[in-house]
Amino acid sequence: MKTRILLIGLIIILVNVISVNAQVLKNGSCPSGWSSQYKYCVAGSNAKPIVPKNGSCPSGWSSQYKYCVAGSNAKSIVPKNGSCPSGWSSQYNYCVAGSNAKSIVPKNGSCPSGWSSQYNYCVAGSNAKPVIPKEGSCPSGWSSQYKYCVAGSSAKGIMAKVGSCPSGWSSSYNYCVK
């Protein structure tokens, strides 16, 4: 069974499915398939998933500029903060998803409803809704819960805003909305 929990922001975590973020904060040059727009790398039609590089890239990922770029057999990865939760294994400075991994987000205080605490992460339960770390007020369609914005049924894709929003995105509070 493939679980698709969308976390739009600096990281999109899809367990058992790796997806391309529409944009990632730019750190120097953008990898192949990505274009530079304001302070973001924006995915083109042939873009592969990328994650900001923190030391060596895990197995299945290659290094390009300051990013790890997913290969054809890459598993989902997130930057490691202490121990990795159940279903995730440690490789270099990353937690790597195993076959039974659940979606995770970095923990900041209490976890929102549907998410449970494990080490420094909130782990998605079966009824978890997409979340993003809260930066001030949540945009329309998203509700505030602890230090997170939680997606409602009418939620649009959002990411934390840094400077101007890329083309096709509008500004709402401290977020860019698709």
Q: With a threshold of 0.85, does the pTM exceed it? A: no
Say which DSSP state 40 is in: E
What strand order describes the sheet that includes 94-97? Answer: 77-79, 94-97, 88-91
Q: Residue 56 in contact with residue 96, Cβ under 8 Å?
A: no
Question: For the chain, how many residues are written?
Answer: 178
Q: Residue 159 in contact with residue 175, Cβ under 8 Å?
A: yes
Structure-token pair, residue 12:
């999109």
Average pLDDT across the chain, whole number: 88
Domain ranges of the chain: 23-177
Place of tokens 């096709």: 168
Residue 8 has pLDDT above 70, yes or no: no
pLDDT given for residue 19 in this prediction: 58
What is the average pLDDT across 118-136?
95
pLDDT given for residue 13 in this prediction: 42
What is the average pLDDT across 109-115?
97
pLDDT given for residue 22 in this prediction: 72
Q: Are strands 104-106 and 115-118 parallel, antiparallel or unpaired?
A: unpaired
Residue 178 or 88, more confident: 88
Q: Tens of pLDDT along 149-173? A: 999 999 999 998 999 999 899 999 9
Q: Residue 93 in contact with residue 126, Cβ under 8 Å?
A: no
Compute the distance between CA of residue 32 and CA of residue 29 in angstroms, rounded to an integer.
9
Residues forming beta bridges with residue 150, ordered by sequence position: 131, 143
Residue 38 has pLDDT above 50, yes or no: yes
